[in-house]
Amino acid sequence: MTSPLAARVLAAAAGTLAHAAVRADAPAPATDLPIASVTLYRSGVGYFERQGAVTGDARASLRFDAASINDVLKSLVLLDRGGGTVSTVGFSAKEPLNRRLASFAINLGDSPSIATMLSRLRGAKVRLATAEGAVEGAVLGIETRVSEPPPATPGALAEQPRSEDYLNLVTASGIRSMRLSRVSSFELLDPALAGELSKALEAIAERRDERTASLDLAFTGDLTAGARPVTIGYIHETPVWKTSYRLVLPDETAGKPILQGWAIVENTTDEDWKDVRLALASSSPVGFRMDLREPLMVDRPWLPIPGASIARSRTYEGDTIARKAGLADQNAAAQARFPAAARAAESVSAGAPLEADAIARYSPRDAAAPGEIGEQFRYQIASPVSIQRQRSAMLPLFSRDIAGERVSIYNPLDNAIHPMRGASITNLSGFDLAPGPIAVFDAGAYAGDAQIAYTPRNDERLLSYAVDTDVRIASRAERTTTINRIRIVKGLLEQATTERAVTTYSFANRDAKRPRTVLVEHPIKPGYALIKPDKPRSETASVRRFDAVVAPGAEAELSILEEQPVRSQIAVGSFDLASLAALSTTGKVSPEVAQAIRKAAAITARTKEHRAEIARATTETQAISDDQARIRQNMAAVGPSTELYGRLLKKLTDQETSLEALAAKSRKATEDLRAAQAELDDYLANLTLD
């Protein structure tokens, strides 16, 4: 919160703002350059052209909102089309406020307190107003003193030390120190310093009130040549222009669908658009913001002063001839890129109000013409457009016949039971259609809303606007796998199979008067090829579309067959011999492959037997070892002189004989396993049979 002293000081300094002097180099009255044409883009910007006439040396001033000045500086185009030249474009730089305030003798950039401000005024002469009267002197500095509180009385809370600022002032009678809290106001006695304070406050006020920024344009030309045309073009931030459409579906018996287009445009500038040529571009050029108005300061390193060796200046020969030729070519190219403005098209008369029964036959004249500039398609509004500042307008674009048919669109993600009522249209309007909503009228009555994505000329699009509750749809899916061929490749069994997916859609049309063309959106299965039907009606990146005609009150089915080839590899010896016998009779396995599989299976069976024998010997050995441990414990307990000890010793001896036999059996089974495995490996090595 600002202290009373600070408020009085700032108020006194602000009073000097009323006496600001008028600049001696103020520009002449601005030449009128009204907006002549506007092209709006769908990327949030618009291209504006202003046109007017100037005579001799002329100046013009344009004002923009401060937030848009950088877009103007980024894209400004100036053309003096009557033989004159463009001189300069002046504008007020937006220097960072803190940096600007730091340049004054009194720095207010960090909103200093009175104590901080007085400490920055060391050496300055001031007049202080205190309770004892006025005091004059030079500021020596500010110091903070801490006062110790008196001893606390018994039972009372101890007070904390308090700090207070004191101003040290050099007066005619010596140095005086006084509490700053007792100073009610102070006055700067140095007029130059007081002026610096006023300028700093003025800078703060200007930045706070800055809503607009101006560009000062200068044109130079021969006064005797009379008036000459000039054109100014620039980019300005604008809302994205929007489109909405009306699709009129005729009766099933006759007629073509009619598509009507409307554009919604907003004038958010601070200037009225009066009889401007308006164009709406369907493209979205790349756009970005960049601060070109604020000065950019770069931190530079401090370097020591160099020694006595000083570089000498020299002159360079210029390329005057080449540069003159280049400038001439550039000027000619610029004139070619910005030809004279086209003549405004004839106005379109408005029709009489429509009745509900007549909307299907409504076909007014087009209010916009299709056009292209470079690779961009745009709507050129035929009649001049007037839109007041901060107002919006809805402009008719076209009304034309298109190609289309009624369809019911089924996608289980939208509705698992009913399809959507819709239409398949082909854009024969001659216009690129920007994205937007479509209000659908069915034979003169409102039927629902649809959306359309960007649709170039001659492209086809599907639209859905209501649920078709008269049609019910069910689907079932089946999958099968068929082995086509088995062969041996480098010792591995390669199996070629076909995975088949059949999806059947069943339709029931409960409408006893009208047939239905049902358009099924069937998801594309990665890796699967379409077998039946031969081809879809259309295909996207994610779905294939198939159509089925369902008679009034009837039922129908649509089957879609898709296949995917699959190859897998398994060990030859692990193949099921029963399946091999069945496949051999169908010719899917050649006799050579079948014989190789049987032989590999026999060898594999032997290796399995040897492994089983080794496992049995290991199990028996472990069981005998566990029993021997029990016997030894019992022998230690009964002593060697007992009959039981003798029996246990005999059993222990017999078990040792069994262990020797099991070890011999395990060694032989291991040798037989190695031999069988080697035989299998040798047989399968590089074995390839079809």
Task: Give me the mean pLDDT over the 468-482 stretch.
Answer: 93
Decide if pLDDT at 596 tops 60.
Answer: yes
Distant-in-sequence, close-in-space partners of 110: CB < 8 Å, separation ≥ 6: 98
Residue 465: closest CA among 495, 493, 445: 445
Contact 217, 232 (CB under 8 A): yes
pLDDT band at 557 (very low <50, low <70, confident <90, very high): very high
Q: 366 to each of 98, 247, 262, 402, how far by Cα in Å?
A: 56, 15, 11, 14
Task: Give me the mean pLDDT over the 10-15 stretch.
Answer: 39
| pTM given for the model | 0.58
Distance in angstroms between the alpha carbons of the first and the last residue of the chain: 95
Distant-in-sequence, close-in-space partners of 172: CB < 8 Å, separation ≥ 6: 136, 137
Alpha helices per DSSP H over 230-319 = none
What is residue 12's three-state secondary structure?
helix
pLDDT band at 356 (very low <50, low <70, confident <90, very high): very low
222 phi and psi, to 5 degrees?
Answer: -80, 125
Task: Specify burial of residue 214 (Cβ count, 10 A radius: 0-12, 13-18, 19+).
Answer: middle
Residue 554 has what pLDDT?
95
Q: 590 to each of 289, 533, 666, how far by Cα in Å?
A: 72, 33, 39
What is residue 158's three-state secondary structure?
coil
Residue 8 has what pLDDT?
42
Residue 42 has what DSSP assignment? T
Decide if pLDDT at 187 tops 60.
Answer: yes
Task: Specify burial of residue 432 (Cβ count, 10 A radius: 0-12, 13-18, 19+).
Answer: buried
Task: Give me the mean pLDDT over the 472-479 stretch.
Answer: 94
Residue 631 has what pLDDT?
84
423: tokens are 């239409």
DSSP lists the bridge partners of residue 591 as none
What is residue 253's three-state secondary structure?
coil
pLDDT digits (tens, 9 = 90+) for 272-312: 999 999 988 876 667 666 666 566 656 656 666 554 444 34
505 phi and psi, to 5 degrees?
Answer: -105, 130
Q: Could you give the CA distance from residue 663 to residue 621 in angstroms, rounded to a whole number?
A: 8
Residue 342 has what pLDDT?
32
Strands of the sheet containing 436-442, edge to edge, are 391-401, 258-267, 242-249, 436-442, 445-452
pLDDT digits (tens, 9 = 90+) for 634-672: 888 888 888 888 888 888 888 888 888 888 988 988 998
Distant-in-sequence, close-in-space partners of 575: CB < 8 Å, separation ≥ 6: 486, 493, 597, 601
pLDDT digits (tens, 9 = 90+) for 78-100: 888 777 787 778 776 665 556 66
Strands of the sheet containing 58-65, edge to edge, are 58-65, 212-220, 85-91
Q: Could you give the CA distance from residue 2 to residue 10 in angstroms, rounded to a whole number?
A: 10
Average pLDDT, the chain: 77
Residue 379: closest CA among 448, 316, 431: 431
H/E stretch holding 37: strand 35-40
pLDDT band at 348 (very low <50, low <70, confident <90, very high): very low
Percent residues over pLDDT 70 in the chain? 74
Q: Could you give the CA distance from residue 59 to residue 27 in angstroms, rounded to a whole number?
A: 7
What's CA 308's distance to the chain center, in Å?
58
Task: Give me the mean pLDDT over the 355-360 stretch.
Answer: 43
504: tokens are 């059947």
pLDDT band at 547 (very low <50, low <70, confident <90, very high): very high
499: tokens are 């995975």
Contact 180, 114 (CB under 8 A): yes
pLDDT digits (tens, 9 = 90+) for 515-538: 999 999 999 999 999 999 989 998
Q: Which domains does the chain have, with CATH numbers?
A: 1-19+28-120+190-238 (no CATH), 125-146+164-189 (2.30.30), 239-295+342-348+356-467 (no CATH), 471-574 (no CATH), 589-684 (1.10.287)
Task: Give me the mean pLDDT over the 71-80 stretch.
Answer: 84
Q: Does 170 or 18 have the greater pLDDT score?
A: 170
Q: Could you give the CA distance from residue 294 to residue 94 in angstroms, rounded to a whole number?
A: 4
Residue 144 has what pLDDT?
85
Residue 477 has what pLDDT?
93
Residue 365 has what pLDDT?
53
Task: Give me the mean pLDDT over the 177-185 stretch.
Answer: 83
Residue 318 has what pLDDT?
36
Distant-in-sequence, close-in-space partners of 359: CB < 8 Å, separation ≥ 6: 248, 441, 444
What's CA 93's distance to the chain center, in Å?
33
Residue 572 has what DSSP assignment? G
Q: Could you give the CA distance from residue 421 to residue 408 in angstroms, rounded to a whole number?
A: 5
pLDDT band at 60 (very low <50, low <70, confident <90, very high): confident
Decide if pLDDT at 192 tops 60.
Answer: yes
Residue 407 has what pLDDT?
92
**Residue 41 exposure: Cα atoms within 13 Å on the Cβ side:** 16
Residue 669 has what pLDDT?
87
Instruction: Return the beta strands (E) in 317-417 as ranges.
Output: 368-373, 376-381, 385-387, 391-401, 403-410
Q: What is the CA radius of gyration of the chain?
A: 48
Cis peptide before 161 (omega within 30 of 0): no
Task: Specify burial of residue 276 (Cβ count, 10 A radius: 0-12, 13-18, 19+).
Answer: buried
DSSP character string of 610-628? HHHHHHHHHHHHHHHHHHH
Task: Give me the mean pLDDT over the 387-396 stretch.
Answer: 90
Q: Which long-range contacts (CB under 8 A, 24 or more apart) does 437-440 make?
A: 437/244, 437/245, 438/244, 438/245, 438/246, 438/247, 438/463, 438/465, 439/244, 439/245, 439/246, 439/247, 440/247, 440/249, 440/465
91-95, 109-113, 171-175: which has the minimum mean pLDDT? 91-95
Q: Does 212 or 383 have the greater pLDDT score?
A: 383
pLDDT digits (tens, 9 = 90+) for 326-339: 434 444 443 343 33
Percent residues over pLDDT 90 in the chain? 16
pLDDT band at 158 (very low <50, low <70, confident <90, very high): low
Q: Could you give the CA distance from residue 10 to residue 540 in angstroms, rounded to a whole number?
A: 71
119: tokens are 């400490």
Q: Could you give the CA distance from residue 418 to residue 464 in angstroms, rounded to a whole number?
A: 13
Residue 449: closest CA among 246, 589, 629, 257: 246
Task: Give me the mean pLDDT over the 422-442 stretch.
Answer: 88
Amino acid at 550: V
Decide if pLDDT at 145 tops 50.
Answer: yes
Q: Could you give the CA distance from residue 580 to residue 309 in angstroms, rounded to a whole number?
A: 97
pLDDT band at 493 (very low <50, low <70, confident <90, very high): confident
